[in-house]
Amino acid sequence: MVRIIVSGGIGSGKSTVTSIMQDHGAAVVHADEIGHMVLEPEGEAFTEVADAWPSVVTDNAIDRRKLAAIVFSDDAALAELESMTHPAIRRKLAELTRLVHTNLLVVEIPILRDFLNSSWTKVFVTAESHVRHERLLARGMDEADIHGRMRAQASDATGVAWADYVISNNGSLEELETEVHALLSSLGDG
């Protein structure tokens, strides 16, 4: 089985890369979605996060926008949140990956530091800062949120050093599809 971790900064196109891989038959797991699950009222991290930041709880649910406003402007708060959520996310990821029985398994992760020593094939998606910024504005994000999230993530230099393969996503979708297909072919699953 080919096992791939795809990462990259916010707005780099990692979700598009994983979608292309899914079109090639990959089973895809999104760490962000698992992160949302662990913050649901029945999720593993809900109580701890709600106790730490009661102001983000509305109608017995964590308002992720309010939480993001806090943690992406305060490194200590972000580290505290990650210490609460990442163990649960890692456990759920391990559980889900054990259940997958396909030739190609892809896990999309936004944060590298938890997976720096992974034995999986590591793919890092890059895009120029202004390209990422334009994409995030098109998603409806405001300047403060964009800046906070970009600041909280590993630099492209860190990602490139971590990666076995780097995909540049500054061009067209067709160019990206060609690059992803070439990568999958080189790994024996294209």
Query: Is 115 part of any domain?
Result: yes
For 43, the domain range is 36-101
- Domain end, chosen from 85, 101, 117, is at 101
pLDDT digits (tens, 9 = 90+) for 139-186: 999 998 898 888 888 788 888 998 999 999 999 999 999 999 999 999
What are the distances in angstroms from CA 18 to CA 49, 79, 82, 148, 155? 29, 27, 24, 24, 20
In this structure, the answer to whether residues 57 and 5 fall within a common structural domain is no
**Total domain count, the chain:** 2
Kindly state whether residue 12 falls inside one of the protein's structural domains: yes
Which of 60, 80, 101 is a domain's end point?
A: 101
Task: Looking at the structure, tell me whether residues 45 and 113 fall in a common domain.
Answer: no
Q: What is the value of pTM for the model shown?
A: 0.83
Query: 31 lies in a domain?
Result: no
CB atoms within 10 A of CB 81: 23
The tally of CA atoms less than 13 A away on the side-chain side of residue 114 is 21
3-state secondary structure of 47: helix
Whether 112 and 128 map to the same domain: the answer is yes
pLDDT in tens, 57-96: 999 999 999 999 999 889 999 999 999 999 999 898 888 8
Does any domain span residue 70? yes
**Residues 118, 188 within the same domain:** yes
Same domain membership, residue 126 and residue 63: no
| Positive/negative CA dihedral, 105, 8, 112, 70 | negative
Based on the domain organization, do 63 and 1 belong to the same domain? no
Which H helix or E strand runs over 186? helix 173-186
- In order of 35, 48, 103, the CA distances from 155 in angstroms are 21, 29, 31
Q: What is the CATH number of the domain that holds 21?
A: 3.40.50.300
